[in-house]
Copies of this chain bind each other. A is one copy, B any other.
Amino acid sequence: MNAQDHVIMTYLIECEGDPLAYATKIASDQSTGTFVDLPGETPELKARVAARVLEVREISPIARASIPQTAGGGPYRRAEADIAFPMEAIGDDLAALMTITVGGVFSIRGFTGIRVLRMQLPYGFGAAYPGPQFGINGTRQLTGVENRPIIGTIIKPALGLRPQETAEMVKELIASGVDFIKDDEKLCGPPYSSLEDRVAAIMPLIKDHEQRTGKKVMYAFNISHVDPDVMMRNHDVVATAGGNAAVININSIGQGSFLFLRKRSRLALHAHRNGWDILTRHPGLGMNFSVYQQYWRLLGVDQFQINGIGSKYWEPDDSFIQSFHDLALPLQAEKQSPMPVVCSGQWGGQAPETYRRTGRTLDLLYLCGGGVVSHPGGPGAGVKAVRQAWEAAQEGIELDVYARSHPELKQALEKFGRPS
């Protein structure tokens, strides 16, 4: 087998019985076989397109099945299985890749658990896809921020503000010195706040500030819509008004629609991955972020939300750190890197650990919603506190110590506490 002609998938198989038999079944069902022998399944045909099991490494069994309702008594054997799928059967289509290496695998009978752990694409795969248009470098250029994280915030409350009320808040946030502002992912263009009205209310403030100070705050308008035609019109509304970024609920619109937008886009595309948790929250089921993100990076996500240290969500810190490193790994096709967006319950207190555990990089967008907006001194003080926290992290000074001479950070520490 030539590794250049195959995608190698690694699955976590959990079952009653022999994991090798299940790996063999994946390879058969997901290429040339079905539930009975077939007259046309010749050796010549299989040599060209059949998937093959490369290795099955059994790991410790577990006492309880990941899907207990369909299982017997246990314990359940587990293994990591490497399976090679010929690119000859897939071509260069990401939808074919998904259907063959992921989709049908989850329908196979008898698993008590099944998870896609890794995907190793052959070199050159994905050259046909655009990748990020802006990514880290483009986001830095558009915001003019160098040598520190880009500091962002989110309009809160997420829902309910009318365009003029949002604009009032934007005015205050612009004055706070923040680099980036975004609509909440849930604000998609409801009747009380159409995208057109929101853009008309907000963009003059962004442009006026730019005229006066030279600093252009990046505002990511949520242009998500299930209809790609509508989404493209939304894109044009933002771009025509001088905007340079957009929030996309990538799972709610789907991969095809995202690619449709990316091919025509002039905006930095900020991906919110809500719904991703369904794929990944149970460690014995679904898919690792390392696999998922390869699709979206090829399709062209510029800024990728991946939670953060001490997030308000279920995701453990280790999982976030892994995601951060996943985004920095090169793809098999030459693409620039997306900007990691560190978010969820962030307020600055997590800066030192984030800095330490991500390899002391400053290439990130650090996004604080309530952590900025609810600072006791207001958003301006909130942004200052976050910047101070990052200064302390860079200089290796304890936050408590740095807070003695930085009152905004001190207030933030008092209000939000420190993550345990």
Q: What is A's interface to B at a CB cutoff of 8 Å?
A: 30-41, 45-46, 48-50, 64, 66-70, 88-91, 93-96, 98-100, 102-104, 106-111, 156-161, 165, 169, 185-186, 188-192, 224-231, 249, 251-260, 263, 272, 274-275, 277-279, 281-283, 285-287, 299, 312-315, 345, 369-371, 373-374, 416
Residues of the B chain whose Cβ atoms lie less than 8 Å from the Cβ of A103: 185, 249, 251-252, 274-275
Contact check, B110 vs A314: say whether CB atoms are below 8 A apart.
yes
Contact check, B275 vs A67: say whether CB atoms are below 8 A apart.
no
Copies held by the complex: 2
Contact check, B34 vs A370: say whether CB atoms are below 8 A apart.
yes
Contact check, A36 vs B256: say whether CB atoms are below 8 A apart.
no
Contact check, A88 vs B32: say whether CB atoms are below 8 A apart.
no
Rounded to whole angstroms, the CA-CA distance of A370 and B48 in the bound complex is: 21
**A374 in contact with B39 given A31-B159, A99-B224 (CB within 8 Å):** yes
Contact check, A157 vs B102: say whether CB atoms are below 8 A apart.
no
**A49 in contact with B254 given A67-B281, A229-B260 (CB within 8 Å):** no
Contact check, A227 vs B256: say whether CB atoms are below 8 A apart.
yes
Rounded to whole angstroms, the CA-CA distance of A227 and B39 in the bound complex is: 34
Rounded to whole angstroms, the CA-CA distance of A227 and B254 in the bound complex is: 11
Contact check, B369 vs A186: say whether CB atoms are below 8 A apart.
no
Rounded to whole angstroms, the CA-CA distance of A225 and B386 in the bound complex is: 44
Contact check, B31 vs A99: say whether CB atoms are below 8 A apart.
no
Contact check, A224 vs B274: say whether CB atoms are below 8 A apart.
no
Q: Which residue of B lies closest to A373 (CB)?
A: B38
Rounded to whole angstroms, the CA-CA distance of A89 and B191 in the bound complex is: 8
Which of these, B32, B281, B287, contacts A160 with CB under 8 Å?
B32
Q: Which residue of B lies closest to A313 (CB)?
A: B107
Rounded to whole angstroms, the CA-CA distance of A360 and B165 in the bound complex is: 58
Rounded to whole angstroms, the CA-CA distance of A274 and B104 in the bound complex is: 5
Contact check, A34 vs B256: say whether CB atoms are below 8 A apart.
no
Rounded to whole angstroms, the CA-CA distance of A100 and B190 in the bound complex is: 12
Residues of the B chain whose Cβ atoms lie less than 8 Å from the Cβ of A40: 156-157, 160-161, 165, 169
**A45 in contact with B91 given A99-B252, A102-B275 (CB within 8 Å):** no
Rounded to whole angstroms, the CA-CA distance of A197 and B277 in the bound complex is: 41
Contact check, B374 vs A157: say whether CB atoms are below 8 A apart.
no
Rounded to whole angstroms, the CA-CA distance of A387 and B79 in the bound complex is: 43
Known: A99-B224, A103-B274, A256-B256. 16 other contacts (CB 8 A): A32-B160, A34-B312, A34-B370, A35-B312, A35-B345, A37-B374, A38-B156, A38-B373, A48-B160, A88-B190, A109-B314, A110-B314, A226-B299, A228-B259, A231-B256, A260-B260
Scoring A67, A90, A157, A159 by chain B CB atoms within 10 A of each residue's CB, the highest score goes to A159
Contact check, B91 vs A189: say whether CB atoms are below 8 A apart.
yes
Contact check, A34 vs B108: say whether CB atoms are below 8 A apart.
no
**A229 in contact with B188 given A49-B159, A169-B40 (CB within 8 Å):** no
Rounded to whole angstroms, the CA-CA distance of A230 and B158 in the bound complex is: 37
State the Cβ distance, A245 to closest chain B Cβ, in Å: 18
Scoring A31, A39, A100 by chain B CB atoms within 10 A of each residue's CB, the highest score goes to A100
Contact check, B157 vs A38: say whether CB atoms are below 8 A apart.
yes
Which of these, B231, B259, B285, contacts A227 with CB under 8 Å?
B259
Contact check, A157 vs B231: say whether CB atoms are below 8 A apart.
no
Residues of the B chain whose Cβ atoms lie less than 8 Å from the Cβ of A275: 98-99, 102-104, 106
Scoring A90, A277, A373 by chain B CB atoms within 10 A of each residue's CB, the highest score goes to A277
Which of these, B48, B161, B229, B283, contacts A192 with CB under 8 Å?
B48
23 residue pairs A–B, Cβ–Cβ below 8 Å? A31-B159, A31-B160, A34-B157, A39-B373, A39-B374, A40-B161, A48-B192, A49-B159, A89-B159, A89-B160, A90-B190, A93-B224, A94-B252, A99-B188, A99-B249, A99-B274, A99-B275, A102-B275, A103-B275, A104-B274, A107-B277, A109-B314, A256-B256
